Amino acid sequence: MAAAVCALAVALLPSGASASGAAWDLNAFDLCKQVGLPYVDDNASGATYNSDTGSLWVVTRSPNHLVELSQRGEFLRKVSWHGFDDPEGVAWVGGHYLAVVEEPTHGGITVVNVAPGVADVYQGRTAVGIEVWSNAGLEGIAYNHQKGVYYVVQEKGPKRVVEVHKSGYHKELFNLESVGVGDLSGIYYSSSIDNLFILSQESRSVIRLAMDGNSVQQRWDIGGDRPEGIAFTPDGQKMFIVSEPRSMSVYSTNGCDGIY
C-alpha cells in the first residue's frame, strides 16, 4: 500500500489566541514544577501516563529501568529491563501493559507487563517487529486505544510518523520534513481531540498536529535540557515532559495546586 505523504501547511496560532485554562491548548500551559530524577544517571528518554493508576512511567538507560512516578515526580517503583537495544519510547496500552519502542529501526515494539510485584521485564518482540528505512532511529511511541494502533516517531532522515498495526503492517502517516523543527523526539496521541503532540529535542518545542496531517495546529517552545518524552493526563489539563539526562517538567492549564 502506498505510504501517505502529506504536505503540511504550517498555520501557527498567535500565542494567547485561545482562552486560558483550555485543555490541550499548548498556550494555556504553565510550568508548575521541574523535578530532577536523581535515581537516573543518563538518560530518561520516554514517558507515558497510566490512566488507571494516575501515575507516570519513564524509560531510562543507565540504569536500565522503567520507573513509575507520581504526577508530582515522586519516585514510586522501578522495574529493570533486560535485552533491549536502546529503548527510547514508552506508551501505556491499558491494564498493566506498556509498549516499549527501541531506537534501532530493525528493533520493534515489545509489550511488557509491569503489574505490581514485577521487578524485571525482557525484550521479547511480543508485539510487533518492524523494519523501517531511515538514517536515524525511532524515538517515541503513542497508542490509539480506540483503533488499537501505535504511532511511532522517527527522529530524522526522514522526520516522520509511522502508524504500526499489531499485525506488523505499518505505513508512513505523516512526513514532517517541512514543519521546521530539527528533529523529532517524542509523541503523544489524544483520542478526545484526535490530535498528535510531537516533541522536538533539537528545537525544544511541541507541535500539535491534526490527524488529517494538513496543518500544524500549534507550535510551542519549551525549556528543559534535551526533551525526549511527552505525556498528558486524559483530560488534557496536565502535561509532563521528560528530558535527558534526568529531569521532568510538570505543566498545568488550571493552576499548580497539589503539584508542589
Ligand X SMILES: *[C@@H]1O[C@H](CO)[C@@H](O)[C@H](O)[C@H]1NC(C)=O
Angle at 182 between CA 150 and CA 32, to 5 degrees: 75
The count of other CB atoms within 10 Å of the CB of residue 165 is 14
Amino acid occupying residue 214: N
- The footprint of ligand X (CB under 6 A) covers 42-43, 61-62, 244
Q: CA 191 to CA 231: how far, in whole Å? A: 13
- Ramachandran assignment for 203, one of left (phi > 0), alpha (psi -120 to 50 degrees), beta (any other): alpha
Q: How far is the CB of 88 from ligand X (least distance, A)?
A: 10
Residue 42 or 194: the one with the smaller Cβ distance to ligand X is 42
Q: How far is the CB of 120 from ligand X (least distance, A)?
A: 19
Q: CA 205 to CA 188: how far, in whole Å? A: 14
Beta strand pairing status for 75-82 and 120-122?
Answer: parallel
Beta strand pairing status for 215-221 and 226-232?
Answer: unpaired
Residue 62 or 178: the one with the smaller Cβ distance to ligand X is 62
Q: CA 87 to CA 13: how far, in whole Å? A: 34
The count of other CB atoms within 10 Å of the CB of residue 55 is 17
Residue 68 or 103: the one with the smaller Cβ distance to ligand X is 103
Q: How far is the CB of 113 from ligand X (least distance, A)?
A: 25
Q: How far is the CB of 207 from ligand X (least distance, A)?
A: 20
Q: CA 133 to CA 137: how far, in whole Å? A: 9
Q: How far is the CB of 253 from ligand X (least distance, A)?
A: 30
Q: How far is the CB of 42 from ligand X (least distance, A)?
A: 4
Residue 106 sits at φ, ψ, to 5 deg, of -95, 5
Residue 43 or 247: the one with the smaller Cβ distance to ligand X is 43
Residue 108 or 245: the one with the smaller Cβ distance to ligand X is 245
Residue 62 or 191: the one with the smaller Cβ distance to ligand X is 62
Q: How far is the CB of 228 from ligand X (least distance, A)?
A: 8
Q: CA 99 to CA 61: how far, in whole Å? A: 16
Residue 8 or 187: the one with the smaller Cβ distance to ligand X is 187
